[in-house]
Structure 1
Amino acid sequence: MTSTPLSSKNWFPKASAGLVLGLGLSLALVGIVGLLCHTNGDPRSPASQYLMWLVAPVWTAVLGGCFMFRTGWRAWGVLGAINILLWGVYMGLRSVIS
């Protein structure tokens, strides 16, 4: 197996995967944390404020990390699989907790 060095030639597919799928991933993660912490939907509560402001750093971390993938297709595939997994966990927890 030959190792190819990381390059910036596929920056658009990687960045678009980080933008689109990174948002979905961060929303799913915040939803899971909200369900586990029994946060209500009141936007004035401190827990809801914390979760609302947690979306941006998670999304930024995913967007920064998406450039570590070798290709744009791999970024889309891995982030898509993580999205499916996290949204499945969210739906399962929501059906059990609610």
Structure 2
Amino acid sequence: MENRKQPISKDWWSKTLAGAVLGWTLALALAGLFAWFGPDGIAAPQKSQFVMWMIAPIWMLVFSFVYLFRSGARAVLWLAAANLLAYALLYLLPPMLSQP
């Protein structure tokens, strides 16, 4: 019997695109949430530098795990849903903090 290698998945392009675009936007939203709700709030000194540097590791983590989805469509759907949730929280929660 001959061992045949599995061909590369046909939807790896869509997974890559989902990880690149939606992973990037998700990393931005998660960094924004940390900026608002992390230690000492949004006005913490030197926090902006840390938040800026945490975007790349979050993005690469999402980007690397995107290939575990069964299809590119699932990757797009799950990452789009995560983005919607993260941006909804980012949009809705900070104004609640500033109200008296």
So what's the TM-score if we normalise by structure 2?
0.82
State the partner residue of 1:65. 65
Give the 5 Å matches for 1:44-59: 45-59=45-59
One-letter identity of the residue aligned with 1:39: I
Alignment of 1:75-90 (within 5 A): 75-90=75-90
Cα displacement (A) at 1:52: 0.2
Unaligned runs of 5+ in 1: 1-6
SS in 2 for 1:9: coil
What letter corresponds to residue 68 of structure 1 in structure 2?
Answer: L
Using the aligned pairs only, state the percent identity: 37
Contact 1:32–1:93 (CA under 8 A) maintained in structure 2? no
Aligned CA RMSD, in angstroms, stands at: 1.8
1:8 aligned partner: 9
Runs of 5+ in structure 2 lacking a partner? 1-7
Shift of 1:25: 0.4
- Equivalent residue letter for 2:80: G
Contact 1:35–1:97 (Cα < 8 Å) also in 2: no
Post-superposition shift, 1:15? 0.5
Higher alpha-carbon Rg: 2
- Of residues 39, 42, 54, the one that matches 1:39 is 42
SS in 2 for 1:40: coil
Pick which of 7-16 and 83-92 moved more.
7-16
User: Number of residue pairs matched?
Assistant: 90
1:9 to partner: Cα distance: 2.7
Q: Distance in 2 between matches of 1:96 and 1:64?
A: 34
Normalising by structure 1, what TM-score? 0.84
Secondary structure of 2:9 counterpart? coil
